[in-house]
Amino acid sequence: MKLVMDKNRRISDQSYYMKRINRLKQRVISTRPEMDLENARILTHAFKQSQGEPLVVQKARAFKLQCQEKTIRIWDDELIVGCSGSKIRGGILCADTCWSVLNDELDTISERPYDPFYLDSDDRKLFEQEIKPFWKGRSNYEQWLAQIPDDTKALRDTGVIYINRKAVRGFGETTAGYEWLVREGLEGIESKIKARREELDLTRPGDYEKDYYLKSLLLVADGIRILASRYGREAEMMAAAESDPSRRDELLEISRICNRVPAQPASSFREALQSLYFYQTCIFMEQNAASYNPGRMDQYLWPYFQNDLASGALTTEQAQELLGCLWVKFSEPCLFQDEVTAEFAAGYPMFQNVCVGGVDDAGRDAVNDLSYMIVQATMDVQLYQPSLSVRYSLAKNPNKFLRKIVELISLGTGFPAFHNDDIGIRMLMNKGIPLKEALNWNPCGCVETNLEGRLRHFTALADINLGFVIEFALLNGVNRRTGQQVSLSTGNPDNFADFDEFLGAVKQQFSYITKAVVKGNHVIDEVCMNRPCPALSLTFKECIENAKDYAWGGAKYNTGNGIILIGVADLINSVAAVKHVVYETGQATMAELVQALDDDFAGHEELLKQCREAPKYGNDDPQVDRLVGDLFTFFADEIERYESKFGTMTPGILPVSGNTPFGLEVGALPSGRKAWRPLADGVSPSGGTDRLGPGAVLKSVSQICHDRFVQGTLLNLKVEPEMLRDENGIQQLMALLKSMCSLGVYHVQFNVIDQKKLIAAQQNPDEHRGLLVRVAGYTAYFTELGKDVQDEIIGRTVVREISAS
């Protein structure tokens, strides 16, 4: 394996194009993220000028003014150009959505522990003197804070749910109609808007609203054209001053392309890349938000690539270089979010999800040469963006493709997110999208499901802390930390007659919390009506057809927002432990268990051991896994019970990093997890409780009916480098991925345990309790092994790397 990989990498490293990529990459890595208030300043100025106009027109005018006035920079070595703000790695403040998070963090944002942004004193002055005074009382976030229902607020304030996210930033979690824009250009879209506008009759009620809406779309289209042509002029001016003839030619080519796209249809692969990237910067400029997903690039860019190759206009290596350049651009922007949200999703996560593989809209194998090159671009660049996803169709995609995926996995970057295509299709269908279109689905954000240019929803509106579902069932609705009653009274647990009564209380607690989330959802849906996004809506055909913004439900398909469950394994293991310890073996009474949890197991070591040794999720153990199917069917049913103005509410299981802050609010659990510690991530087993390897994990995880959690389910698996060190290991990982698909598990991503991680675990065992390694015919926790054996295993990792390279 290593041999193959190294050979690939060597080829790449020796390639001339990697020199440019490495320089571009270096610039991104060495640039500190900063707050970028230029857009906010222009937005504020524009809103002052356009007072009295409809909100969406004001938004469109502000967007156009940003395009006209914003700083234009083309950096050295770039082939693909564009930037949402004025800085390479800027955090953009969208003051109309939420200005106050910056206000709250003015003194700390430069130094905060999660995702700091440097704020210089001029920008601070600008914020305090111009931006804040204008927006005070006008932002979406303030509307949300004023309207949040009491019960929702009580749960939010105690860490039971997290629901502010959508009010502090823009829409995101969507896949714009890149393909349409690239293919027809702004001119094609504009002619459709104009034709639609022609049909209106301003004497007819409702048509005036449509008219000004379509006008706002034309304003943003105009803005995008102006922005691109400003890049064209900048490149031309730079070319005139450039002494290096080869860079001068590059700049002239950039200039030519920017004068063409996205105004006109792309006529080459490079124009297509530039066109889509311009648009990407524009929608991010309009609303700072995570996961605007470029989607199925191997599909919609394929005709351009094929034509250029056939005509000789482009070599494969040039195409690879261009992809690399684009990949670096995707890594530049930084998601600006408040301190708390940053904790839930740390690392400036833009989640621009690019997807390869799967089937086409006729159900055929969709893998093509570009699919491989896109995977290769991620292997070349190795930055945190774009988020690379694979749609793997067990039935249709070739083994060669699967192998390429395994090669990327073995680099240990955590990419790609591997998705089971059949389940993704079924999730889309479960959102109400017909099969023909569902076949064209794409992953969104981390593992959510999406559809290009047609679908509107928040995939992750709010998170529910499942740790509290258990805690409340055992404390009769009282928060352990505060002692306050914040949830439903489900009875004193000592009086539960049997396990079913306990389980009933768990379910009632979940229902209560879900209900509070749904109430909050409806408020956010309402607040979002005041957050039109004409630049995003521009590439949603039905937004034009219906003359209705994305925010207002103009897209072809709308569904209820996503409600996300966090702490799956903690909940399952806790339910199983109560069943085992209290109701089956009688090792403890309910009162004893509750007392032990209250004491965080201090002085209850024997009970702690019994709780930890109760059957655990992740071991293919029917004793615990039998509970999973019923519980999760109940959870999905419960969420889907509710309608919103955009459709049925949708469940998902995908913490980004929310399992950590959520865990800090939850006391000790019957699973044996101690108080105030992180919960398990996604659908993965709790760290340190799965002892039987990846197959057993997959079997347990497959007990959840993934198709029903239509906003996606996330599984992290650790893989030892020994699995990837030789040909047999590669083949077996391929087989494991195929098995996962047969089992109906939706997603997996791999974390390769390398020597560095092992040494870190030896030095800080407390932080690496769950690290499993294969010893000699069995698996064990690395931190529990004696030092000699640890050293031997660390040595084994080295020896194998040496022997294989």
Instruction: Tell me how far, at minimum, the Cβ of 181 lies from other proteins, in Å.
Output: 40
The reply to whether 685 sits near other proteins by the rule CB under 8 A is no
The reply to whether 695 sits near other proteins by the rule CB under 8 A is yes
CA distance 613 to 690: 11
Among 13, 361, 494, 784, binds other proteins (CB under 8 A): 784
Query: Two tokens at 27?
Result: 């610039």
Residue 340 vs 696, nearer CB to other proteins:
696
Among 59, 64, 507, 796, binds other proteins (CB under 8 A): 796
Q: Categorise residue 676: left if φ over 0, alpha if ψ from -120 to 50, beta otherwise.
A: left
Instruction: Tell me how far, at minimum, the Cβ of 788 lies from other proteins, in Å.
Output: 6
Q: Which stretch binds other proteins (CB under 8 A): 291-299, 337-345, 456-464, 790-798?
A: 790-798
Give, in degrees to the nearest 5, the angle at Cα 59 between 58 and 63.
115
The reply to whether 497 sits near other proteins by the rule CB under 8 A is no
Tell me whether residue 446 is one of the annotated catalytic residues: yes
Among 386, 520, 661, 693, binds other proteins (CB under 8 A): 693
Among 608, 664, 752, 760, binds other proteins (CB under 8 A): 608
Which helix H or strand E contains 245, and what residues bound it?
helix 245-260
Instruction: State phi, psi for 261 to the nearest 5 degrees.
Output: -115, 150
Among 209, 253, 640, 792, binds other proteins (CB under 8 A): 792
Instruction: Tell me how far, at minimum, the Cβ of 382 lies from other proteins, in Å.
Output: 27
Q: Categorise residue 179: left if φ over 0, alpha if ψ from -120 to 50, beta otherwise.
A: alpha
The reply to whether 241 sits near other proteins by the rule CB under 8 A is no
Instruction: Tell me how far, at minimum, the Cβ of 766 lies from other proteins, in Å.
Output: 15
User: Is the Cβ–Cβ distance between 336 and 117 less than 8 Å?
Assistant: yes
Tell me whether residue 343 is one of the annotated catalytic residues: no
The reply to whether 605 sits near other proteins by the rule CB under 8 A is yes
Residue 77 vs 792, nearer CB to other proteins:
792
DSSP for residue 531: -
Instruction: Tell me how far, at minimum, the Cβ of 43 lies from other proteins, in Å.
Output: 54
CA distance 451 to 20: 34
Instruction: Tell me how far, at minimum, the Cβ of 739 lies from other proteins, in Å.
Output: 5
Residue 464 pairs in a beta bridge with: 161, 565
The reply to whether 692 sits near other proteins by the rule CB under 8 A is yes
Per-residue CA distances from 736 to 616, 723, 729 (Å): 22, 11, 10
Show the beta-strand stretches assigned E in 47-136: 90-92
From the candidates 282, 444, 446, 741, give the one annotated as an active-site residue.
446
Instruction: State phi, psi for 558 to the nearest 5 degrees.
Output: -130, 135
CA distance 697 to 620: 7
Among 104, 498, 606, 637, binds other proteins (CB under 8 A): 606
CA distance 532 to 536: 9
Site string (619-658) toward other proteins, x via CB under 8 A: -x--------------------------------------
The reply to whether 267 sits near other proteins by the rule CB under 8 A is no
The reply to whether 664 sits near other proteins by the rule CB under 8 A is no
* C-alpha torsion angle, residues 41, 45, 46, 51 (rounded to 10): 140
The reply to whether 699 sits near other proteins by the rule CB under 8 A is yes
Residue 716 pairs in a beta bridge with: 749
Instruction: Tell me how far, at minimum, the Cβ of 719 lies from other proteins, in Å.
Output: 11
648 Cβ partners below 8 Å, 6+ apart? 432, 559, 560, 640, 642
Query: Two tokens at 749?
Result: 């991503």
Q: Which stretch binds other proteins (CB under 8 A): 116-124, 358-366, 378-386, 780-788?
A: 780-788
Q: Which stretch binds other proteins (CB under 8 A): 20-28, 342-350, 366-374, 791-799?
A: 791-799
Residues 734-773 that bind other proteins (CB under 8 A): 735-736, 738-739, 742-743
From the candidates 179, 271, 407, 448, give the one annotated as an active-site residue.
448
DSSP string for 461-516: SEEEEHHHHHHHHHHTTB-TTT--B-S-----GGG--SHHHHHHHHHHHHHHHHHH
Residues 582-601 that bind other proteins (CB under 8 A): none
Q: Which residues contribute to the site for other proteins (CB under 8 A)? A: 605-606, 608-609, 620, 692-696, 699, 723, 728-729, 731-732, 735-736, 738-739, 742-743, 775-779, 784-789, 792-793, 796, 799, 802-803
Catalytic residues, by residue number, are 446, 448
